[in-house]
Amino acid sequence: MQIIEEIKACRKSIRDRQAKGLRVGLVPTMGALHEGHLSLIRAARANSDRVIVTIFVNPTQFSPEEDLAAYPKPLEADLAACLAEGVDIVFTPTADTMYPEGTQTSVHVTALTDGLCGKDRPGHFDGVTTVVAKLFQIIPADAAYFGEKDYQQLIVVKRMVNDLNFPIEVIGCPIVRETDGLALSSRNIYLSRSQRHQATSISRALFSAQRNVEKGETSVVKIIGEIRTTIEETGPCAIDYIEAVHPETLKPLEEIHGLARICVAVKIGKTRLIDNLAVDATTASR
Ligand code: PAF
């Protein structure tokens, strides 16, 4: 497994492989790899001849109130996990390499970033799209793998790739959950035992909403109300949002008659957790 820090060396390494006709899959990460990331690596391996993982805690997607310094950076463990998964290249640039002095350009996707996490985290998606655009330039891979856990991020990145004609396929992969339903996240390590237990209410509420939609419930007010009650009755928390949105435009829905995505962001203690679930009213047994 090659570990590369420099941009030129990374680009050359990818181009050399592609010159041999090899298909390259890219998994961009901020490290602190868990089973969710490993599932992306496995999907990339299944679809590609060579897999590159990037590990870069991107400062531009953190707001001043969010603790960039405290973000976990277990590089040794991450490299070991990549090696065990048969990753071919790990790109671990420094912040100075990615954002040298004088950098002035950023990428902004408009409407899709207004709602959901965009409301609570101003500037966050500009940081994401800018770094992902840079990674796509540095690593001219054939496909890139993103988790559906960050559903808005996935849709925003797809839009950017489409709008800016990046020659790369963006592949969304399903959320990986603990056996009790909690969506895997690098932030779960911040939860105390009781908060961890409380956090399971999020997926429980989402799956219950999915069943209700399948049984014919169309009212988003009712669906959201029930999710809120299920989450709030487990203990103190601050709900940032619970919304049912169109799966592609991310516009909020008032009624669910077709496909929709129910998205939730909740702070339990200081930890902000997000989760989402696809619902399909066309399967409703009315
Ligand atoms: O999902 C993440 O880990 C990050 O937002 C990404 C896509 C690696 C960009 O920094």
How far is Cα 17 from Cα 121, in angstroms, rounded to an integer?
Answer: 38
Nearest Cα residue to atom 1 of ligand 1: 29
The pTM for the full model equals 0.97
Domains of the chain by start residue, with CATH: 2-173 (3.40.50.620), 186-278 (3.30.1300.10)
CA of 151 relative to ligand 1 center, distance in Å: 12
CA dist 162 → 4, 91, 165, 168, 170 (Å) = 28, 25, 5, 9, 10
Angle between helices 124-138 and 7-19 (to 10 degrees): 50
Please give the pLDDT value at position 255. 98
- Segment 185-206 shows an average pLDDT of 97
Amino acid identity, residue 113? T
CA of 252 relative to ligand 1 center, distance in Å: 24
Scanning the chain, the segments in alpha helix (DSSP H) are: 7-19, 35-47, 75-84, 95-98, 117-120, 124-138, 151-163, 193-214, 220-232
- 286 pLDDT more than 70: no
Question: 37 an active-site residue?
Answer: yes
The string of pLDDT tens digits covering residues 236-246 is 999 999 999 99
| Closest CA relative to residue 97, chosen from 13, 30, 5, 12 | 5
Residue 90 Cβ < 6 Å to ligand 1: no
> pLDDT band for position 283 (50/70/90)?
confident
Residue 132 Cβ < 6 Å to ligand 1: yes
Please give the pLDDT value at position 251. 98
The string of pLDDT tens digits covering residues 212-239 is 999 999 999 999 999 999 999 999 999 9
Residue 78 Cβ < 6 Å to ligand 1: no
Please give the pLDDT value at position 194. 97
Nearest Cα residue to atom 6 of ligand 1: 29
Nearest Cα residue to atom 5 of ligand 1: 128
